Structure 1
Amino acid sequence: MDNMPANLWIAACAHRLQQQWHTVDPLDLEDVARDLWRDERLRAMPPEEAAVDWLKPLCGAGN
């Protein structure tokens, strides 16, 4: 998703993470999303897909 500005990618990714972790501070989730954006493989994905891919080991393959 090289054509998506970093701030929008991070915001969309953080939003998807918040759907999984309702009780985590949104600013903390933005920090996590920013770390994910720094990963070249994840950054190449749509932000929602990157979040789901990153969550797989944490939540099990069924999610």
Structure 2
Amino acid sequence: MENVPATLWIAACAHRLQQQWHTVDPLELEDVARDLWRDERLREMLPEGAAVEWLRPITE
């Protein structure tokens, strides 16, 4: 999303990932969210939606 600064997008995405993985170090989840930000298709989504999309193979 162009209107959301990268740092906020990454933080929101990491927060959503934390809801799925309570035991994973938040800094590691932030690294994952940063990787997701680098994917243009995911970056165009809302951060929560990008996390859900990325988690889809795991949660189905």
TM-score in terms of structure 1 length: 0.93
The one-letter code matched in structure 1 to 2:58 is L
The aligned residue for residue 21 of structure 1 is 21
CA RMSD of aligned residues (A): 0.4
The aligned residue for residue 40 of structure 1 is 40
The one-letter code matched in structure 2 to 1:16 is R
Equivalent-residue separation in structure 2 for 1:53 and 1:9 (angstroms): 15
SS in 2 for 1:52: helix
Q: Which runs of no fewer than 5 residues in structure 1 stay unpaired?
A: none
Residues 13-55 of structure 1, C-alpha deviation per residue, up to 9 Å, x if partnerless?
0000000000000000000000000000000000000000000
Number of residue-to-residue matches in the alignment: 60
Equivalent-residue separation in structure 1 for 2:29 and 2:37 (angstroms): 12
Q: Percent same amino acid at aligned positions?
A: 80
Q: Which runs of no fewer than 5 residues in structure 2 stay unpaired?
A: none
TM-score in terms of structure 2 length: 0.98
Q: Does residue 54 of the first structure (1) align with residue 54 of the second (2)?
A: yes
